[in-house]
Amino acid sequence: MKQQPEAYDVVVSLAGHDRGKLFMVTGRSGERLLLCDGKNRRMEDPKSKSPKHVRVVVRGGKAPATDREIRQTLALAACGAEAKEGELLGER
């Protein structure tokens, strides 16, 4: 069963023009998630997206204080995701 995204999870977009990009969930607005990437979508102007259009990559963490912390977290998550994909494919 698909995991429901929660605050401070790192997610990947599955639909829309931002498909394949990583975001951090910073909150909810009704049924929609508020997503930030620290660069194009900053904490003061989050993107609103349906939970069914994202997949959780990394479960929760600490609350980011700045956009820089979001960018750093997403960079670490991207490195981890690449490593996991390589392991699954048998690459080293």
- What CATH code is carried by the domain that includes residue 44? 2.30.30
Q: Which residue has the tokens 């494919």?
A: 89
The answer to whether 71 and 77 are in contact (CB under 8 A) is no
In a domain, 19, yes or no: yes
In a domain, 2, yes or no: no
State the Rg of the chain over Cα: 13
Q: What is the residue range of 73's domain?
A: 10-89
Q: What is the mean pLDDT of residues 36-45?
A: 93
In a domain, 70, yes or no: yes
Alpha-carbon distance values, 70 to 33, 41, 42, 62 (Å): 16, 10, 9, 10
In a domain, 32, yes or no: yes
pTM for the predicted model, two decimal places: 0.82
pLDDT, tens digit, for every residue of 43-92?
999 999 999 999 998 887 788 889 999 999 999 888 876 655 544 334 43
Number of domains in the chain: 1
In a domain, 43, yes or no: yes
Bridge pairing between strands 22-29 and 10-13 = antiparallel
In a domain, 1, yes or no: no
CA distance 76 to 19: 19
Which has the closest alpha carbon to 58: 20, 25, 14?
25
Write down the pLDDT at residue 35: 96
In a domain, 4, yes or no: no
In a domain, 35, yes or no: yes
Enumerate the β-bridge partners of residue 47: 35
Write down the pLDDT at residue 81: 62
